Structure 1
Amino acid sequence: MRELYASSNGDRWDLLIDASTGHTFVRHTANQPSGGNVVDMALPIFLSLDSGGPEHQALWALIRSLVT
C-alpha cells in the first residue's frame, strides 16, 4: 500500500495491489466524522472521475515520476 494523498480533513487515498489478482486500485477512506467509509476503485474509474482533485494530481505525479 502506498499513500497517494491525505487531506487536511482526514480523508485518505491509497494505491494498493490485490495480491490474489495483481490488479492495482485506489482506496478512499473517508474521515471519521463522515462515517469512515472505505471505497475501492479500479484505476480507470478513479482517473475518469475528476482529474483536477489533489488526490488525482498526486497519482499523476507518481506516474510521471516513473517515466522521467
Structure 2
Amino acid sequence: MLWRRELHTSSSGDRWFLARDTAPDRPYILHEPDAASGGLPSQIEIGSFLVTGKEGPEHRELVRLIGTLAEGGVLVTPPVEQARSHWIPSHGLG
C-alpha cells in the first residue's frame, strides 16, 4: 500500500509528494514530472532531498510539515547557545 501527501505542484505541472510505502515501511519523496516532459516518476530519499541545497517551495513545504510534528509537545525556551543550529552539511566523504 502506498500513502502519499502532496507537497507542491509547479506551474509547469511537476508534482512532489511525501510518500510512504507500507511494504518496506519507508518514507521518501515521490517526484512526478509533468506529462509534456515525458519523464518518469522518481523516488528520492528524504535526506538526499533535504540536503540538495535547493530552496524550492516543495522543500519548504516538507520542512514545514516536519515542523508540525513538534506541535502539541512541550513548549520550552532553549538556552541562547542552543538557539541556532551548528549543523554544517558535508558535501563528500573525502
- In structure 2, the residue matched to 1:56 is 59
Is 2:24 aligned against 1:35?
A: no
| TM superposition shift of 1:42 | 1.0
Instruction: Please tell me the residue identity of whatever aligns with 1:50.
Output: G
* Higher strand content, 1 or 2: 1
* Higher helix content, 1 or 2: 1
- In structure 2, the residue matched to 1:16 is 19
| TM superposition shift of 1:48 | 1.4
TM (norm. structure 1) is 0.89
- In structure 2, the residue matched to 1:66 is 69
Distance 1:57 1:12 in 2: 14
Structure 2 residue ranges without an equivalent (≥5):
72-94
Instruction: Please tell me the residue identity of whatever aligns with 1:3.
Output: E
Structure 1 residue ranges without an equivalent (≥5):
none
Instruction: Please tell me the residue identity of whatever aligns with 2:66.
Output: I
For residue 15 of structure 1, give the secondary structure of its aligned residue in structure 2: strand
| TM superposition shift of 1:50 | 2.6
Count of aligned positions: 68
TM (norm. structure 2) is 0.66
CA RMSD of aligned residues (A): 1.2
| TM superposition shift of 1:53 | 1.1
- Aligned-residue sequence identity (percent) comes to 37
Distance 1:21 1:51 in 2: 28
